[in-house]
Structure 1
Amino acid sequence: MRYLFLLICLCMAFASQAQDLIYKNDGKIIGAKILRTDSSFVYFRHTEPPKQLDSIAQSEVSKVEFDYSQKAFKSSKPFSRNAVSVSIGGTSVLLGISYDRIIGQERNYHFSGRIGIGSLSRQTNINTHLSFNFYLNKVRTQFFEVGAGLAIPLNERNSIDYYNLYLTAPILGYRIQRYEGFFFRVYVSGLYMRRPASANSWISDVLYIPTIGLDLGYSF
C-alpha cells in the first residue's frame, strides 16, 4: 500500500509538470503553456520562471506538441484583418463611413490602410490612411498608431471656396481591434487646405485646421 501511494504521488508530480512543447526551426525546444494560436503567431506562457507571456511567429515553428490532458486549450479564430466603421471628424471632416484593412503583420506591429467617404455640408471627399500600429498589450488588441493620410474633395464648397486639395498631417492615434467584434479608433491629425489666388490677390490662401477623428465599428 505504501508503494502504491508513492507511485500515485510520483504520477501527480509528473502531471503537474506537464507542458506543451514548441519546436523551433533552429532546433531549440521551448517548454510552454500555449494560450492560443492564429494564422501568424503562437501565444504562450513560459514554464520556466518568471513564466512570462510571449509569442512566436508561425514561420519560426517546425511543430507544436500539446499536452492533451490539459483540455483548457482552445485554438482561437484568426486575427480579424478587416473593419468597417462610422467615422466622425478627422479626414472625414464631419461624418463618413470607412473600411480598414490590415495589410501586413509583423512580430511587434502591423501595417494597415483605410479608405473612406466623408462629408461636410455640400462637400464630399474620399480619404485614405496608411499607418503602422504598434502592439500595446500581449494579446494584441490595443495599438499605438502612427501614419499619414490624404483627403480629396469631390466637389467645391462655394460658400468657403477652398479648392480641391486637402492634405492631412501625420496621424497619431490609439485603436482597439479585437479578433472579432468591437472596433474603436481615435486619432489626431489636421487638414491643410489651399484656395487659389483671387482677382484681388495673386497669392493663394492657406489654412491649416487641427482635427480629432473617431471611428466606431465592427472588425471581422
Structure 2
Amino acid sequence: MLKIIKLEKKIGDFQLNINDLCLEEKIIHGVIGNNGSGKSTLIKLMTGLLKPDTGIMDFGTLTKRDIVITVPRPYMLHDTVYNNLTYPLKIRKQAVKKETIMEWIDRCGLSGKEKQYAPSLSSGERQKLSLARALIFEPKVVFIDETMANMDPDSVVLFEQIISDIQLKNPVTWIIVSHQLTHIYKLCECIHFMDAGSILTSGTPEELLQNADNPVIRQYMSKYLIGN
C-alpha cells in the first residue's frame, strides 16, 4: 500500500492538501480532475520531482529505482532507438539482452528503426519508445502523466494492450493521469477525483458515476466523458 498523509505543497497561489490517500498496490489507478486541480503537482511530489512542504509519503520498501514516469513530451537521449532502451537497464546494472530490446522495439511498432537517431522519430513514435523505455526494466510503480493525450487511436490501443498484458502476467502499480475518460474507465480499477488541490472522492468507476450528482463531478463528466 502506498500511503500519503497530510501532504501539503504551496506553489504561488495554488495549495495542494492531501490529508489521507492510500493507493492499493498492483492495480491501475486513475487520477482525474479539471485543469489546475493539482494532478500533475501530486504526481511530481510522488515521483520526487518536487519536494513537499510538509507531510508523509510512505512507499514501503520501494526506492526511486522502482518508480518510473512517462510524460506528454518525453526526452529522447541523443542516441539510437536501441541505446535509448539499453540505458535504463545499464543505470540499474541489469542485464542487457538483445532479444529483450528487440522484443520491445517490435512490440511498440518500431521494427527496423533500432539504429535510427531517437530524436528524429515522429511524435507518436517517441511516445512509443518512451513507454518501452519506461517498462523495459520492469518497474514496480508506473506513473503516466497525460502520455496518451495527443496519441493517434491505434497508439492508444497499443498502450492499453501493453498495460493489460503486464497486469495479467506480472501486475504492477499504475497511476494514470488523463482527461481521456474512455480509457480511464476501461483500464482503471480505482479512480481518484481531484478538485482545488484535494482528493474530492475515490472509488471504482461505478462508484464515481454514482457521485455524478456532485456539481463538480457532473460538470467534469459532461465535458470530458460525453465529449469522448
Q: TM-score, normalised by structure 2?
A: 0.25
Where relative contact order (Cα < 8 A, 6+ residues apart) is larger, the structure is: 2
Higher strand share: 1
Higher helix share: 2
Q: TM-score, normalised by structure 1?
A: 0.25
